[in-house]
Amino acid sequence: MLRAPLPARFRCFRRAASPGGAACLAQRRVDQIPSLLDATAHNSSHLDCTKGAHAGDQVRIAGALSSIGTLDRGFDERKAD
């Protein structure tokens, strides 16, 4: 059975059981750390931006809910009459 050549990023997985395979996998993970840190920083920045964009929403929602409570009390008072 012929195997198609693996892309470089998967070659360590085939060699994992051979001598030096674990070191290959470990180095592969170390090489990926900068990309992981960049992605994490990007996500954090996006969350900070989103949090700022929606900061006033909590106040608006709380105001709307408190006015609903006032309306409910008014209807309850009408029912009692």
Closest CA to 16 of 28, 4, 7: 28
Contacts of 25 (CB under 8 A, 6+ apart): 12, 13, 16
């700022």: which residue's tokens? 52
pLDDT for residue 34: 94
Query: Amino acid identity of 50?
Result: T
Query: Amino acid identity of 40?
Result: T
State pLDDT tens for residues 22-71: 787 788 889 999 999 999 999 999 999 998 888 888 888 877 777 777 77
Question: 1: helix, coil or strand?
Answer: coil
Residue extents of the structural domains in the chain: 10-80
